[in-house]
Amino acid sequence: MLNRTKINASVSPKGSLETLSQREVQQLRETGSGSVYRLFRQCALAILNTGSHSDNAKTILEAYPDFEVKIHQQDRGIRLELFNAPADAFVDGEMIASTREMLFSALRDIVYTQSELENKRIDLDSSEGITDYVFHLLRNAQTLRSGVEPKMVVCWGGHSISTEEYKYTKKVGHELGLRGLDICTGCGPGVMKGPMKGATISHAKQRNLKGRYLGLTEPGIIAAEAPNPIVNELVILPDIEKRLEAFVRVGHGIIIFPGGAGTAEEFLYLLGILTHPDNQDVPFPVILTGPKTAGPYLQQLHDFIGATLGKVAQQRYRMIVNDPAEVAREMAVGIKAVRQFRRERNDAFHFNWLLKIDESFQHPFEPTHEAMASLNLTREQPLHHLAANLRRAFSGIVAGNVKENGIRLIEEHGPYEIRGETTIMRPLDRLLQAFVEQHRMKLPGGSAYEPCYRVVD
């Protein structure tokens, strides 16, 4: 159980925040009853808890049961009143600047998301409507900047990684920054922090004062992966599917570092999209990389992709071991191809409209025991559909590991059952077992990992 000092404080945004309507403020002020308020409270607590070594959302929420946040409308904007907040978010009574910035980003995104959902023009029943929704969420957060040359590199990987793997991510981030590239991650610790930290140094060396460190998260995961303080643009998407689509729409290339179930979920999501027939000719550089000590892990993941999705999927990425400079060079070359492709087709640099994303990757998956047991994990379906269902299996494991609702379901009903063909289940079981043995399912130093799943072939 976390045990940290608490503080009461009143905080106003630095700069400006768009004025909220009286109705929006009332929604948020429904202390303890409104779903919008509870969502903002959870995200606010996670942001204030930045630096915690816990990756259990339920534990963090239980550690601060008396935490409250009240929203006050003022003539000059919004003021937040915090009660029993984590004291580590303050220095001499003043909230740390990055924390204050992210706190009001959370308020902006949650209020806007709710307003959009109540707007009848939102169409969440079609693929085009969902993509349009993601576009509006990102535009409202001022993430989309027209006219800027492609240079956003998405870095995916685990929050539970070794010290050597973390140092490697910093080296890669440093090489990317030297080449003028920006960083986008899931905004938490581990791989989500390392590339940003490396890039801050190289951006300073190159006198790049406009370096972007974009963090994309969602309410169900934010407590387990609280934003790291390097993030200078935070966007909270409403669910994991919108978050993943935001990554591939704003990113110009993706680097996959070592990780666990969440990283496998992201990788399968990406490969499922890139193996769709409509995306065959769309350039999108993807690199799987890690230090020499992570070589066996990288090979295991590569072999799993080969055993389940085949060589077609393996050909959509390149694996580079222990060579940060080569990773950055390869990514820079790939992004040049992306720039040329979009110029030829008059597609936007800031949002990848041409990429086809099947609806099976866009609709939220609720990992109940019934839903997990009924996933279609057979080869009698198109390749990108199998990738979508494998992605859902890993999404359920992530929920059972770190998300509050998932943890409670496992406590009540026991492990999920994942069923499918033997030729798919056995590689899956081997990969998951390797994740457990390599301590990639939970942060090191905590309690022993108890699997939230059972693989059945």
Ordered DSSP codes for 357-421: --GGGTS-----HHHHHT---SSSS-HHHHHHHHHHHHHHHHHHHH-HHHHHHHHHH-SEEEE--
Task: Round to whole Å and give the CA distance between 388 and 270.
Answer: 9
Q: Are 219 and 40 in contact (CB under 8 A)?
A: no
Instruction: Determine the pLDDT at residue 112.
Output: 79
Instruction: Determine the pLDDT at residue 61.
Output: 67
- Nearest alpha carbon to residue 79 among 37, 36, 17: 17
Residue 34 makes CB contacts below 8 A (sequence gap 6+) with: 27, 28
Q: Are 181 and 331 in contact (CB under 8 A)?
A: yes
Instruction: Determine the pLDDT at residue 203.
Output: 97
The rounded average pLDDT for each run of 10 residues, N- to C-terminus, in the chain (457 residues) is 72 64 63 68 84 56 82 74 88 89 86 75 89 93 91 92 95 98 93 96 96 92 80 92 96 96 92 94 97 94 95 96 98 97 94 93 92 95 93 92 86 93 94 88 69 89
Beta bridge partners of 419: 456
Rg from Cα positions in the chain: 21
Instruction: Determine the pLDDT at residue 258.
Output: 95
How many C-beta atoms surround the C-beta of residue 126 within 10 A? 11
- Nearest alpha carbon to residue 254 among 139, 150, 396: 150
Q: Is the dihedral of CA 166, 241, 404, 142 positive or negative?
A: positive
Task: Round to whole Å and give the CA distance between 192 and 185.
Answer: 5
Apex 119 CA angle, 117 and 125, nearest 5 = 60
**Of how many residues is the chain composed?**
457
Ordered by where they begin, the domains of the chain are 6-121 (3.30.1850.10), 145-456 (3.40.50.450)
Residue 105 makes CB contacts below 8 A (sequence gap 6+) with: 141, 233, 234, 235, 236
Walk across the sheet containing 6-11 and list its strands: 6-11, 77-86, 68-74
Task: Round to whole Å and give the CA distance between 266 and 272.
Answer: 10
- Helices (H), ranges, 13-84: 22-28, 35-48, 57-63
- Nearest alpha carbon to residue 52 among 86, 82, 85, 83: 86
